[in-house]
Amino acid sequence: MITQHQHYINGAFTAAGSTSWIEVINPATEALLSRVPEGTQQDAAAAIDAAEAAQPAWEALPAVERGAWLRKIAAAIREREPELTATIVAEGGKTQGLAQTEVLFTADYLDYMSEWARRYEGEIINSDRPNENIFVFKKAIGVTTGILPWNFPFFLIARKAAPALVTGNTIVIKPSELTPNNAAIFAQIIHDIGLPQGVINFVYGYGPEVGQALAAHPKVGLVSLTGSVNAGIATMQAAAQNVTKVSLELGGKAPAIVMDDADVELAVKAIVSSRVINSGQVCNCAERVYVQAGIYDRFMSTLIAAMGEVKWGNPAEQADLDMGPLINAAALMRVEQKVAKAWWKAVRWYSAVNVAVARDSTLNPPLSPACISRWRSCAKRFLVRYCRS
CATH number at residue 270: 3.40.309.10
- Does 292 have pLDDT greater than 90? yes
Domain count within the chain? 3
Calculate the CA dihedral of residues 211, 219, 8, 91 and round it to 10 degrees. 20
In terms of C-beta distances under 8 Å and separation of at least 24 residues, what long-range contacts does 19-22 make, across chains too?
22/177, 22/180, 22/204, 22/205, 22/206
Q: For 125-138, what is each residue's pLDDT tens digit?
A: 999 999 899 999 99
Is 121 catalytic? The answer is no
- Does 357 have pLDDT greater than 70? no
- Does 112 have pLDDT greater than 90? yes
Confidence of residue 368 (pLDDT cuts 50, 70, 90): very low
- How far apart are the C-alpha atoms of 94 and 315, rounded to whole Å? 7
Confidence of residue 286 (pLDDT cuts 50, 70, 90): confident
Q: Hey, is 290 helix, strand or coil?
A: strand
| CATH number of the domain encompassing residue 187 | 3.40.605.10
Report the chain's mean pLDDT, rounded to a whole number: 89
Based on the fold, state whether residues 189 and 299 are members of the same structural domain: no
- Does 107 have pLDDT greater than 90? yes
- Whole-number pLDDT of residue 355: 55
- Does 372 have pLDDT greater than 50? no
Average pLDDT over residues 152-180: 98
Based on the fold, state whether residues 347 and 241 are members of the same structural domain: no
Based on the fold, state whether residues 63 and 151 are members of the same structural domain: yes
> Regarding predicted confidence, which is higher, 250 or 354?
250
Asked if the bond preceding 27 is cis, omega within 30° of 0, the reply is no
Choice among 105-119, 153-167, 315-329, 350-364 with the minimum mean pLDDT: 350-364
- How far apart are the C-alpha atoms of 296 and 326, rounded to whole Å? 29
Confidence of residue 283 (pLDDT cuts 50, 70, 90): confident
- Whole-number pLDDT of residue 117: 95
- Does 16 have pLDDT greater than 80? yes
Phi (first) and psi of residue 319, to 5 degrees:
-90, -15
Average pLDDT over residues 183-211: 97
Question: Residue 377's domain spans which residues?
Answer: 328-389
- Does 385 have pLDDT greater than 70? no
The catalytic position among 283, 287, 371, 387 is 283
- Whole-number pLDDT of residue 388: 31
Based on the fold, state whether residues 57 and 140 are members of the same structural domain: yes
- Would residue 220 be called left, alpha or beta, if left means φ above 0 and alpha means ψ between -120 and 50 degrees? beta
In terms of C-beta distances under 8 Å and separation of at least 24 residues, what long-range contacts does 54-60 make, across chains too?
54/10, 54/170, 54/196, 54/197, 54/198, 54/199, 55/140, 55/142, 55/143, 55/168, 55/169, 55/170, 55/198, 57/196, 58/165, 58/168, 58/169, 58/170, 58/196, 58/199, 59/140, 59/168, 59/169
Is 249 catalytic? The answer is yes
Query: Please, are residues 351 and 379 in contact by the beta-carbon 8 Å criterion?
Result: no
- How far apart are the C-alpha atoms of 57 and 180, rounded to whole Å? 29
Based on the fold, state whether residues 315 and 342 are members of the same structural domain: no
The catalytic position among 79, 121, 177, 249 is 249
Q: 188, 221, 250 — which closes off a domain?
A: 250
Based on the fold, state whether residues 280 and 264 are members of the same structural domain: yes
- How far apart are the C-alpha atoms of 256 and 227, rounded to whole Å? 22
Sign of torsion over alpha carbons 28, 20, 84, 48: positive
Confidence of residue 356 (pLDDT cuts 50, 70, 90): low
- Does 345 have pLDDT greater than 90? no
DSSP 8-state secondary structure symbol assigned to residue 194 = T
Sign of torsion over alpha carbons 334, 91, 253, 240: positive
Based on the fold, state whether residues 92 and 189 are members of the same structural domain: yes
CA 36 to chain centroid: 20
- Whole-number pLDDT of residue 121: 86
Side chain identity, residue 346? A
Confidence of residue 1 (pLDDT cuts 50, 70, 90): confident
Closest CA to 50 of 4, 18, 5, 13: 13
- pTM for this entry: 0.86
